[in-house]
Structure 1
């Protein structure tokens, strides 16, 4: 494809995904058809079916693209656990603060009883790849000798959980819950300090466990 046609295709893809998200929230996953999404997005049915032959494929793309924003920028290099975790934590907090992420979780939660495959897509195409990137970073730090982590899965879960439990989950449950950029930065900093104190082998606050 030429650069022009690639740009047009990306623009139409963005319109489709935006329309699908709005309709899933408005009508529910079951009552939203691909034809209705095509009409709302202003693209032809042929164009939509070419990119997304099924509704499940469209939802998978929504999940993947929403979580892929976390991959922007190079992964932190091992050797400085505070800087590396701070970079990862800031990216995660920013990702969770995006309105599309809240919308996706609301769709999954609302439709979970009838469509458990939506939760599977959210986990396998979204959460799991991001978790694996954090896990890989901690393993690299462990191999570099900057941290000593016996259960890297648990360590990654703890770190991400400290951020999500304040920045993200209350937005689904508490009306009007908002977290300022300054507060989110503080949450990330505290998560970094806690994780460093538990697992770091060198530097201030390093763990002295044998």
Structure 2
């Protein structure tokens, strides 16, 4: 007897999961993490409490899932570029990162974490451990492969990854948390990424 879920049931489950994550993000932002119950999330998502509890037995587990989903690459392709062409590789990573940071749910996620930090520091820990750190590590590992390929001279891959991502996020993302009107257009974002790539190449590339 085949016990595997059908493609239809898998699709329905994914749709419900997405609805739950979206509803939870909105309620956490509007009402606060503490004042949002799983029952309210189920109601807002249009699912039963049993369905929600089956996927997310606790509110913390649900928040962890929001973090993980928010930091996934928007195009579904998270493979690192092959080493050998530093500028092309960094340009690809930089554009992916900018696209990730400009998704509406990313700013919402940070607003939730910042608002609840005094009472729920574990939310920030989840954001760092499940979201930012894995992404940062992927960039660090890419730079290490370029070093092994002989395309860059690099003593501190962690510092270099911080420099590259920081040059992009400091323009594309962080002002959005303070300035409601901050929305650089595609050309401006692309220019920031290109300049970050040029600066990294000027500092680290083997001539």
Gaps of 5+ in 2: none
Q: Is residue 2:176 matched to residue 1:171?
A: yes
Kindly report which structure 2 residues correspond to 1:1-210, keeping only aligned pairs within 5 A, or say none.
1-69=5-73, 72-73=76-77, 74-202=79-207
Q: CA deviation at 1:175?
A: 2.6
Structure 2: how far apart are the matches of 1:162 and 1:21? Answer: 28
CA displacement, residues 141-194 of structure 1 (integer Å, 9 cap, x when unaligned): 000000011011000000000000000000001231111011000000000000
TM-score by length of 1: 0.95
Structure 2: how far apart are the matches of 1:139 and 1:108? Answer: 31
Moved more, 168-177 or 100-109: 168-177
Gaps of 5+ in 1: 203-210
Q: CA deviation at 1:75?
A: 1.6
Structure 2: how far apart are the matches of 1:162 and 1:12? Answer: 37
Question: Residue 96 of structure 1 contacts residue 168 of structure 1 at CA under 8 Å; is this kept in 2?
Answer: yes
